[in-house]
């Protein structure tokens, strides 16, 4: 017969042993946890982390390559001051506002209309679905090239059709004319960015319970009322999410405008991201270029914080 | 009879919907069709007024020239895409596993860093990156470009993988570890085989990112020898138009179509995985 005392003691020993073991296990787990992160942080550190820190430093220094490669000198907020005194600041900000709002809301609006139309039993569903994905599949270089060709002053398709309809009497340079410039840029933005929004909105539409709509219809709701009172409120979370994402992406986007107009003519389509490039790589004012980038980053981080809050709220 | 009348009524109700759909679809396909039809004609028919939708003579001469011009950049794009995708998996899977299954201080901030990288204006990074690439001898090299691409794909992929791993039942791994599997063994033998859809989504999005990238390649390289097809196309259309020559337009347009074809093939065959990638709650599409 074994004494209860002994059993208890044995139990304590195992407990103690387990405690020791688990603390060792825990330490191993912590080490392994960090070790597995190392490779990804090597890449991110070199390509994103270091340049980010260096940009922050540059934005606080006066550094113009035209004054020499070793002319870098701390100057506090001088670059930001120079940016806010820039005589063209108003133009850049106006461009940025047109671009960000247009390139965010036009694709969402187009996607919404398309998704509302597609969310039903359709003949040739497969066909409509594949067609919608075309702009998504085109690489942006091809997209820009195609639209440049459509907008071509002499041989462009758009000039021909607008003249046929009588909207214009002679050929227009869509990417050089002050009036047509932004509508042309935003038309391309709408065309190439609606598919992502469309896929997300359609998924949300299909998640609305059928009973809700049927009930509305039984109560004599017209199609318009159904959309306004049932459908739109149900997909509001997705729409807000897409809006914030769109704002962040278009805010930081460089490629679309760079490929279509290079920010021109002059500075007429220069938004902040292409401006960073122009100031640093063409005017060699590295400090000011970095400062503009910093302003851009701060704005997108504010939107980023809003986005994260929304995702968190959604998860709850 | 009644049946026929009902279908007729249904069709007339739906007519405005089909009409609207048709109009929107027209807007979506016209640019693409115009691009394609512009490439299958002799140059003489490219510059005609009024524009001709259907060429009088059919010619693939533009494609022949485009293939010669873009062969090397296309090969570069393909190689970079595949290498970047593999490297991304090797780097991102352990990180995502660490973030879902292991406990250590600072885990939330690490996730935050990955999210943060998705919201940065990349132009801001280009100048310092350009300088450090010059210093390290990575500028204008294949290795340098692949490192840059991988750094771009990793954060997004980690987030994607993380949300997928978190949805897998942990019991299977615990079972395997009781049977003597190590942590990494569990990742390799249990988690990864169960994650095929999201792994394909990661590979696919990495390849497409490399294929479409213009920004990084332009700033981190200068010779067409090492550059990707997207950048070759971009350089071709800016350089040509800057020098005032328009003679090569048909080659550029054909190049644009060639550039799109592989993406269409990938999308068509792997459509369900793309949907999986989007619904996994990833940040970027």
Pair B145, B32 in one domain: no
A71 domain-assigned: no
CATH number of the domain encompassing residue A118: 1.10.3720.10
| Contact with chain B for residue A294, Cβ under 8 A | yes
Please indicate, yes or no, whether residues B28 and B125 belong to a single structural domain of this protein: no
Is B47 domain-assigned?
Answer: no
Is B54 among the domain residues?
A: no
pLDDT of residue A16: 47
Q: Comparing C-alpha atoms, which of B158, B71, B127 is closest to residue A39?
A: B158
pLDDT at residue A309, as a whole number: 86
Per the domain annotation, does A168 fall within a domain? yes
In angstroms, the separation between the Cα of residue A31 and the nearest Cα of chain B is 8
- Domain at B184, CATH number: 1.10.3720.10
Is A69 inside a domain boundary?
no
Looking at residue A13, its pLDDT comes to: 44
- Give the residue from chain A lying closest to B128, CA to CA: A51
Angle formed by the axes of helices B123-136 and A50-59, nearest 10°: 110
Specify if B46 maps to a domain. no
Question: Which residues on chain B are in Cβ contact (under 8 Å) with A296?
Answer: 121, 124
Helices B61-101, B249-269: inter-axial angle, 10-degree rounding = 40
The candidate with the shortest Cα–Cα distance to B145, out of B226, B54, B225, B201, is B226
pLDDT at B271: 73
pLDDT on residue A21: 55
Cβ of residue A99 closer than 8 Å to a chain B Cβ: no
The reply to whether B154 and B230 lie within a common domain is yes
- Residues B27, B79, single domain; the answer is no
Nearest to A142 among B20, B119, B256 (CB): B256
Residue B105 burial (CB count, 10 A): 9
Could you give the number of structural domains in chain B?
2
Q: Do B165 and B258 belong to one domain? A: yes
Nearest chain A residue (CA) to B103: A30
DSSP letter assigned to residue A62: E
Question: Do both A30 and A117 map to the same domain?
Answer: no
Phi/psi of residue B279, nearest 5 degrees: -75, -15
Check CB contact under 8 Å for B98 and A32: yes
A37 touches chain B (CB under 8 A): yes
- Count other C-beta atoms under 10 Å from residue B77's C-beta: 26
- Tell me whether residues B234 and A39 touch, CB distance under 8 A: no
Is B272 domain-assigned? yes
Same domain, B140 and B193: yes
Of B49, B113, B147, the CB nearest to A47: B147
- Per DSSP, the residues of A262-307 read TT-STTTT--HHHHHHIIIIIS-BHHHHHHHHHHHHHHHHHHHHHH
Range of the domain at A19: 4-59
Residues B13 and B145 in one domain: no
User: For position B25, what pLDDT does the model report?
Assistant: 92
DSSP-derived pairing of the beta strands A73-74 and A61-62: antiparallel
Question: Which residues in A lie closer than 8 A to residue B151 (C-beta atoms)?
Answer: 43-44, 46-48
Same domain, A24 and A111: no
Q: Is residue B252 part of a domain?
A: yes
Instruction: Note whether A132 and A55 are same-domain residues.
Output: no
Residue A11 C-alpha, separation from nearest chain B C-alpha, in angstroms: 22
The answer to whether residue A64 is domain-embedded is no
Give the alpha-carbon dihedral of A197, A200, A206, A212, to 10 degrees: -80
Looking at the fold, whether A165 and A54 belong to one and the same domain comes out as no
Q: Which domain holds residue B33?
A: 2-39
Measured between CB atoms, which of B103, B132, B259 is closest to A141?
Answer: B259
**Residue B168, SS3?**
coil
Q: Which chain A residue has its CA at the smallest distance from B13's CA? A: A223
Within this chain, do residues A55 and A141 fall inside the same structural domain, yes or no?
A: no
ipTM of the modeled complex: 0.88
Verify whether the Cβ–Cβ distance B154 to A301 is below 8 Å.
no
Residue numbers of chain B with a pLDDT score lower than 50: 242-247, 280-285
User: Are the Cβ atoms of B252 and A252 closer than 8 angstroms?
Assistant: no
Residue B45 domain-assigned (yes or no): no
CA distance B192 to chain A (A): 15
The span from the CA of B279 to the CA of A118, in Å, is 19
CB contact under 8 A, B95 and A39: yes
| Residue B172 placed within a domain | yes
All residues of chain A having their beta carbon less than 8 Å from the beta carbon of residue B127 are 51, 55, 58, 280-281, 286, 289-290
Residue A52 domain flag: yes
Give pLDDT < 50 ranges for chain A.
1-17
Q: What is the rounded CA–CA span in Å between residue B189 and residue B185?
A: 6
Task: Tell me: do B223 and B173 sit in the same domain.
Answer: yes
- One-character DSSP codes across B94-117: HHHHHHHH---TTHHHHHHHHHHH
């Amino acid at each position: 017969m074994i004494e209860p005392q002994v059993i208890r003691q044995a139990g304590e020993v195992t407990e103690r042993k387990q405690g020791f073991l688990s603390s060792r296990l825990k330490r191993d787990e912590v080490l392994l946890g960090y070790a597995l992160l190392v490779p990804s942080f090597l890449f991110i550190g070199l390509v994103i982390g270091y340049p980010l820190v260096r940009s922050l430093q540059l934005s606080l220094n006066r550094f113009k390559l035209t004054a020499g490669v070793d002319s870098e000198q701390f100057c506090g907020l001088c670059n930001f001051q120079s940016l806010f005194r820039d005589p063209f600041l108003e133009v850049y900000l106006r461009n940025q506002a047109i671009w960000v709002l247009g390139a965010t809301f036009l694709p969402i609006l187009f996607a919404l209309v398309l998704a509302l139309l597609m969310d039903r039993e359709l003949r040739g569903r497969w066909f409509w679905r594949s067609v919608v994905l075309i702009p998504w599949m085109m690489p942006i270089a091809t997209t820009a090239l195609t639209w440049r060709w459509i907008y071509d002053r002499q041989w462009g398709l758009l000039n021909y059709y607008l003249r046929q309809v009588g909207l214009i009497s002679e050929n227009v340079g869509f990417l050089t004319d002050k009036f047509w410039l932004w509508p042309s840029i935003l038309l391309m933005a709408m065309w190439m960015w609606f598919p992502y929004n469309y896929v997300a909105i359609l998924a949300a539409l299909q998640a609305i319970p059928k009973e809700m709509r049927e009930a509305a219809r039984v109560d004599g709701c017209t199609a318009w009322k159904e959309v306004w009172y049932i459908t739109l409120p149900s997909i509001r979370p997705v729409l807000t999410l897409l809006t914030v994402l769109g704002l962040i992406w278009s805010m930081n986007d460089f490629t679309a405008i760079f490929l279509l107009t290079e920010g021109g003519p002059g500075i007429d389509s220069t938004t902040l991201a292409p401006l960073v490039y122009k100031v640093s790589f063409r005017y060699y004012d590295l400090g000011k270029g970095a400062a503009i980038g910093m302003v851009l980053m701060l704005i997108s981080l504010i939107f980023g914080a809003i986005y994260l809050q929304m995702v968190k709220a959604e998860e709850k | 009879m009644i049946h026929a009348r009902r279908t007729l009524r249904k069709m007339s109700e739906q007519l405005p919907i089909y009409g609207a759909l048709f109009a929107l679809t027209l807007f979506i396909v016209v640019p693409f069709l115009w691009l394609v039809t512009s490439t299958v004609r002799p140059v003489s028919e490219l510059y005609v007024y009024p524009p001709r939708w259907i060429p009088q003579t059919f010619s693939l001469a533009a494609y022949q020239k485009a293939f010669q011009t873009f062969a090397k950049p296309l090969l570069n794009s393909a190689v970079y895409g595949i290498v970047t995708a593999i490297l991304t998996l090797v780097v991102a899977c352990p990180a995502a596993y660490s973030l879902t299954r292991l406990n250590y201080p600072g885990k939330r901030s690490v996730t935050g860093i990955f999210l943060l990288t998705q919201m940065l204006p990349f132009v801001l990074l280009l100048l310092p990156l350009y300088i450090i690439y010059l210093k390290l001898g990575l500028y204008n090299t294949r290795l340098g470009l692949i490192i840059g691409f991988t750094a771009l794909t990793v954060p997004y992929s980690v987030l994607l993988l993380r949300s997928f791993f978190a949805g897998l039942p942990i019991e299977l791994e615990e079972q395997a570890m009781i049977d003597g599997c190590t942590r990494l063994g569990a990742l390799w033998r249990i988690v990864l085989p169960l994650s095929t859809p999201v792994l394909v989504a990661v590979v696919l999005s990495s390849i497409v990112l490399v294929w479409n990238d213009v920004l990084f390649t332009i700033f981190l390289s200068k010779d067409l020898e090492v550059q990707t097809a997207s950048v070759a196309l971009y350089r071709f259309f800016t350089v040509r138009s800057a020098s005032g020559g328009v003679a090569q337009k048909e080659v550029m347009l054909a190049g644009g179509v060639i550039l799109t074809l592989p993406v269409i093939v990938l999308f068509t065959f792997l459509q369900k995985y793309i949907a999986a990638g989007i619904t996994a709650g990833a940040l970027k599409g």
